[in-house]
Amino acid sequence: MRRSCWGRARKNVIVIDEGLPRNRVTHESHGFLTRDGIKPDEFRRIAVEQIRAYPSVRFAADIAIEIGGADGDFKIATKKGDTYLAKKLLFAVGKKDRLPEIEGLTDVYGKSAFVCPYCDGWELRDRQLAVIAKGERAFHFAKTILGWSERIALFTNGPDELSDAQREELRVRNIPLHDAPIRRIVSEDGMVNQVELEDGSSIPCTGIFFAPTLAAGSDLPQALGCELTPTGSVTATDALGKSSIPGVYVAGDIATEMNQLIQAAAMGAMAGAGINSELLAEAWEARGQGTQS
């Protein structure tokens, strides 16, 4: 979306993309009107195909590894050894899910185990669900998942880190709480059927929601000095995605805790408009100075 904005604005753009989006493990993407249920790789294929209609936008299958310079004169070095010069930067590097170290979880991740009920809750509606998280996050997760299924059990994979009041709230709502460490996730062809605990018990389930640890998709924003939130997102100083570093913008998952495909696209469109406005303003000033001289 943002690349199309720049292409239509007749700006020269290089898109450096390693081709490993966060949602690549999922079979379908949801919540994006006109594209609900589309495969993530098909979504990207269509996007790139449409953006290629604008010849000023180029794609590089590569990874940016170092950035120097400042607003108006950035220099980007890539893993393949190429160097690019840019007046402005947009980081749309997303985040990465760091899965809990639970045997069998990677086998079901993206098939019957997910991190976002807004993205995948409909497909698991009314099933027997396991929620894997602890502390305040687990309590919030449990309340949220009840919107899709009342048949849930909470697994904290060790000490639950809940308050007595929270445990009581779970009890009166008949939500089982299991604090024994998880031995493994049992599945067949990616479809979970039970959670085995170290205390010897096995609890049946047909779907999982779990809380991953999130990491930025790249360390470059922080290396440039961009301010971060306590959860690792890059702080945007305005609605257009401007970061704390002049000339640097952010959009998508790296700049928000609300990780939705359609929101990421909207943020990208706003950042594109913000960057183009800066470039137009700079060109206006330069033209004025040229006229006076």
- The tens digit of pLDDT for each residue in 124-151 reads 999 999 999 999 999 999 999 999 999 9
- pLDDT tier for residue 230 given thresholds of 50, 70 and 90: confident
Q: Which segments of 121-201 does DSSP mark as H helices, in order?
A: 135-145, 164-172
Domains and CATH numbers, the chain: 2-97+213-292 (3.50.50.60), 100-210 (3.50.50.60)
Report the range of poorest mean pLDDT among 3-7, 28-32, 103-107. Answer: 3-7
Residue-wise pLDDT for 233-289, tens only, equals 999 999 999 999 999 999 999 999 888 889 999 999 999 999 999 999 999 999 888
Statement: residue 157 has pLDDT above 50: yes
Q: By percentage, how much of the chain surpasses pLDDT 90?
A: 83
pLDDT given for residue 4 in this prediction: 63
Burial class (CB in 10 A: 0-12, 13-18, 19+), 63: middle
Statement: residue 292 has pLDDT above 80: no
pLDDT given for residue 70 in this prediction: 96
- Report CA Rg, the chain: 22
Beta-strand relationship, 202-204 and 64-70: unpaired
Residues pairing with 69 in the sheet: 74
Which one, of 236, 245, 244, lies nearest residue 264 by Cα?
A: 236
Residue 54 has which token pair?
A: 């604008």
pTM of the predicted model as reported, rounded to 2 decimal places: 0.87
Task: Dihedral sign for Cα 179, 102, 255, 70, please.
Answer: positive
Using CA atoms, how far apart are residues 163 and 139, in angstroms rounded to an integer? 10
pLDDT given for residue 213 in this prediction: 87
Residues pairing with 95 in the sheet: 216
The one-letter amino acid at 169:
E
Residue-wise pLDDT for 170-180, tens only, equals 999 999 999 99
- pLDDT tier for residue 16 given thresholds of 50, 70 and 90: very high
Statement: residue 1 has pLDDT above 70: no
- pLDDT tier for residue 28 given thresholds of 50, 70 and 90: confident
> CA dist 140 to 133, 211, 257, Å?
10, 11, 14
